[in-house]
């Protein structure tokens, strides 16, 4: 007897695909915050319960959706965004467009409440319960969108089992929201966990204000401004690094961004550390919020992370190291200029 090849039903396919995209509450938070930023929000409020395992709510004052848009948005392969896949800014975190709301709705109970900015339309609410889309309901609210996600992985126990302790899941959420807050200082971003406000930036547009809100006064005061415009493919290196005394035992606070996107990259991290010219104690890492504007970047966008490869890696490394060193030198925090290659 020959084996039969069976077709999986849509719901099963969606749940398998979801595992690639939605690994944990922080993945939900990332996708929803990206959507809020894409919608031109000036404020984004993230509220989670039990590390996000019980509840994730992301509320924005962005452009919102009409009822028709909303019904379309939760379907598969629907997007209102056009982007050039070769452009780093044009790539969704998912690596493909129009999947986030659909995917999240297939592995949770997701309620979207939205109202478009343009007058004339009222608000609407729609719930997707593990792939089952309910009826569109009228709902009053100011312009913007709120997405609430509960019962994450309730029908996929194998996934649910993979979730870590609430504190660990919250650490992932916190790291993601922190990076968006630092990368978007013009947007007021807040994070609340189990009823306690963790931070709230004010959206002044100044990275230092965002760092003050996120990391506190001691760290904010230790920050030195980095500003360099090297020639060649690296157009600009700018942001802030802490003085060599203000460090932590983890690399976590070394936030690097390439063309506006948060990137965890060993080359950039090493370059920042080298900029301290041996002034850091062993196994201590500074705070950094460093933006690299650069051509010749290959982005490999995986649902769960973004990696980059620089065409001129040595040049990028030298540019970042030099920019950090100059910033610390200018404030007398490191002693000598490194030889430039
Ligand atoms: P993508 O972001 O790749 O387009 P999503 O599934 O994340 O795919 O979202 C689908 C669509 O829903 C978006 O293209 C956008 O039109 C709409 N949308 C989602 N979230 C928001 C939001 N917070 N505000 C306004 N529109 C939104
Ligand atoms: Mg999206």
Q: What is the pLDDT of residue 93?
A: 40
Residue 25 tokens, joined: 């509450």
Q: State in Å: Cα 32 to ligand 2 middle.
A: 7
| Atom nearest to 63 CA in ligand 1 | 25
Q: Is residue 109 within 6 Å of ligand 1 at its C-beta?
A: no
Q: What is the pLDDT of residue 166?
A: 97
Which element (helix H / strand E) includes 49?
strand 43-49
230, pLDDT greater than 70? yes
Q: State in Å: Cα 97 to ligand 1 middle.
A: 9
Beta bridge partners of 138: 124
| Atom nearest to 98 CA in ligand 1 | 8
Would the pTM of this model clear 0.80, i.e. be above it? yes
Beta bridge partners of 300: 307
Instruction: Note whether 76 and 192 are within 8 A (CB).
Output: no
Q: Is residue 144 within 6 Å of ligand 1 at its C-beta?
A: no
| Atom nearest to 147 CA in ligand 1 | 23
Q: Whose CA is nearest to atom 27 of ligand 1?
A: 35
Cα–Cα distance between 140 and 19 in angstroms, integer? Answer: 34
Query: Exposed/middle/buried for 143, CB within 10 Å: 0-12, 13-18, 19+?
Result: middle
Sign of the CA dihedral with 271 first, then 273, 276, and 278 last: negative
Residue 47 tokens, joined: 């509220």
State the alpha helices, DSSP H only, in 107-165. 157-162
Q: pLDDT (tens digit, 9 = 90+) per residue, 103-129?
A: 999 999 999 999 999 767 789 999 999
Pairing of strands 124-129, 132-133: antiparallel
Q: pLDDT (tens digit, 9 = 90+) per residue, 28-71?
A: 999 999 999 999 999 999 999 999 999 999 999 999 999 999 99
Q: State in Å: Cα 35 to ligand 2 middle.
A: 5
ipTM of the complex: 0.99
| Atom nearest to 34 CA in ligand 1 | 2
Banded pLDDT at 88 (limits 50, 70, 90): very low
Classified as helix, coil or strand, 145 is strand
Owner of token pair 């028709």: 68
Greatest CA separation found in the chain? 80
Pairing of strands 188-193, 43-49: parallel
Cα–Cα distance between 277 and 325 in angstroms, integer? Answer: 7
Query: Exposed/middle/buried for 146, CB within 10 Å: 0-12, 13-18, 19+?
Result: buried
Residue 64 tokens, joined: 């919102």
Residue 185 tokens, joined: 């200082």
């Amino acid at each position: 007897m020959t084996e039969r090849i069976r077709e999986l039903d849509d719901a099963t396919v969606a749940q398998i695909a979801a595992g690639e995209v939605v690994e944990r509450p922080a993945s939900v938070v990332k996708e929803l915050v990206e959507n809020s930023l894409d919608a031109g929000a000036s404020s984004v409020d993230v509220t989670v319960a039990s590390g996000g395992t019980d509840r994730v709510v992301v509320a924005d004052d962005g452009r919102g959706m009409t009822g028709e848009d909303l019904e379309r948005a939760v379907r598969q392969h629907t997007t209102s965004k056009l982007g050039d896949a070769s452009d780093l800014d044009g790539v969704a975190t998912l690596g493909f467009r129009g999947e986030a709301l659909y995917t999240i709705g297939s592995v949770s109970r997701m309620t979207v409440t939205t109202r478009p900015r343009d007058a004339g339309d009222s608000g609407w609410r729609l719930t997707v319960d593990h792939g089952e889309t309910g009826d569109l309901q009228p709902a009053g609210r100011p312009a913007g969108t709120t997405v609430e996600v509960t019962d994450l992985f309730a029908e996929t126990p194998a996934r649910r089992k993979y979730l870590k302790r609430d504190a660990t899941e919250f650490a992932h959420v916190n790291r993601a929201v922190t990076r968006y807050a630092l990368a978007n200082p013009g947007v007021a971003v807040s994070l609340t966990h189990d009823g306690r406000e963790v931070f709230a930036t004010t959206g002044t547009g100044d990275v230092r204000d965002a760092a003050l809100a996120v990391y506190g006064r001691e760290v904010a005061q230790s920050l030195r401004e980095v500003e360099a415009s090297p020639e060649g493919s690296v157009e600009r290196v700018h942001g802030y690094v802490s003085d060599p005394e203000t460090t932590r035992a983890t690399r976590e606070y070394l936030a690097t961004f390439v063309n506006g996107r948060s990137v965890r990259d060993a080359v950039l991290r090493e370059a920042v550390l080298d900029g301290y010219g041996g002034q850091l104690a062993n196994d201590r890492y500074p705070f950094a919020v460093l933006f690299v504007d650069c051509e010749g970047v290959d982005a490999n966008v995986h649902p769960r992370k973004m990696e980059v490869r620089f065409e001129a890696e040595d040049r990028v490394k030298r540019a970042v190291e030099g920019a950090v060193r100059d910033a610390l030198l200018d404030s007398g925090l490191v002693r000598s200029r490194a030889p430039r290659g």
